Structure 1
């Protein structure tokens, strides 16, 4: 039993490293002009990039359109990708730039809350639990919509996408100290907005 737990722990430690190595290998092959390697990278990353764009724009249609633009731009910019950067982190940076270009064109100062079907409670929960969960999700989405874009983005990349401080620094082109302070301000602002909504 102890050996099983130990090997399971070792496997979970190795998994992210193996995943990073596989991603790096695919990106290198794509850089050399292998379209099937790039197709695998697109399939492996399209969900997270679409979710990120949806969180930034608040529009499913725009997020779908922008995700195609992100992968096209990434293909064209592949010669500039370097193996020191995780490929999906590099994609987040491209996605953020594309989304901010759109938001500047729309001259938005705030975001619309995400669509009601953005996230739903488990079907097995009781109706009361599901209703409460949907209300909470709706309130969190509304609170997130009131954050400045930079704070909203960093909170979502950390809390929803699970990026490390190092990955956030790479994706947002800022140093880790700035990541930590911006994230702390974003979390504090979100908590303050959410608390005000409860009263």
Structure 2
């Protein structure tokens, strides 16, 4: 009995899209990565499924249009996360009203362990919504998407030290917010 053919790698699919404008190959890339991209965007939007779906669609549209710019230096998924974060940041900037700035909490220690209540989805989404967009993205990428600090820094196009600062501030703000929740 013959074994099923091995699925093409991301690199092979990308090559087919670029060389032959193979839209089915791009569709396979979308199918392969859409769940992770939508999950990232759901967390960034505070659980707003409709907004996350709209942003995911915009992410893949931009990815298709800009695929020739993918150089393969990072994982394809990281490249997609970068596009998704940029789409989120640009939509967030265009919607943000000065009165809707996230609650500014005092900075604390970078070595903060989050309370067990973090696991409660509603409390987490409400607390995440209070973070600045880059802090939220840094935390989601490193914890929910399990990227290393180096990978997340590449996605957010910032130095690793800045990424670590965003994560530390986000954790401290979440800890305080969740402690204050009834």
Asked whether the two chains share a fold, i.e. TM above 0.5, the reply is yes
Aligned to 1:38: 26
TM-score w.r.t. length of structure 2? 0.77
Matches within 5 A, 1:50-129: 50-58=38-46, 59-107=48-96, 109=100
What is the CA–CA distance in structure 1 between the aligned matches of 2:118 and 2:135, rounded to whole Å? 23
How far the C-alpha of 1:145 sits from its partner, in A, is: 1.5
- Indicate how the Cα distance of structure 1 residues 187 and 76 shifts in structure 2: closer, same or farther if over 3 A, else same: same
Greater shift in the superposed pair: 98-107 or 84-93: 98-107
- Indicate how the Cα distance of structure 1 residues 94 and 134 shifts in structure 2: closer, same or farther if over 3 A, else same: closer
**Ranges of 4+ aligned residues in structure 1 off by more than 6 Å:** none
What is the CA–CA distance in structure 2 between the aligned matches of 1:61 and 1:139, rounded to whole Å? 20
- Indicate how the Cα distance of structure 1 residues 187 and 28 shifts in structure 2: closer, same or farther if over 3 A, else same: farther
TM-score w.r.t. length of structure 1? 0.71
Q: Deviations over 1:52-92 (max 9, x none)?
A: 22222232112212211111110110111011121111111
- Indicate how the Cα distance of structure 1 residues 139 and 24 shifts in structure 2: closer, same or farther if over 3 A, else same: same
Alignment gaps of 5+ in structure 1 = 1-18, 112-132
What is the CA–CA distance in structure 2 between the aligned matches of 1:165 and 1:51, rounded to whole Å? 19
Matches within 5 A, 1:178-197: 178-197=162-181
What is the CA–CA distance in structure 1 between the aligned matches of 2:153 and 2:15, rounded to whole Å? 22
* Structure number with higher helix proportion: 1
Aligned CA-pair RMSD = 2.6
Matches within 5 A, 1:145-164: 145-164=129-148
- Indicate how the Cα distance of structure 1 residues 135 and 182 shifts in structure 2: closer, same or farther if over 3 A, else same: closer
Alignment gaps of 5+ in structure 2 = 1-6, 103-116
Preserved contact between residue 45 and residue 129 of structure 2 (Cα < 8 Å): no
Match of 2:181, SS state, is helix
- Indicate how the Cα distance of structure 1 residues 144 and 134 shifts in structure 2: closer, same or farther if over 3 A, else same: closer
Preserved contact between residue 110 and residue 149 of structure 1 (Cα < 8 Å): no
- Indicate how the Cα distance of structure 1 residues 186 and 135 shifts in structure 2: closer, same or farther if over 3 A, else same: closer
- Indicate how the Cα distance of structure 1 residues 41 and 159 shifts in structure 2: closer, same or farther if over 3 A, else same: same
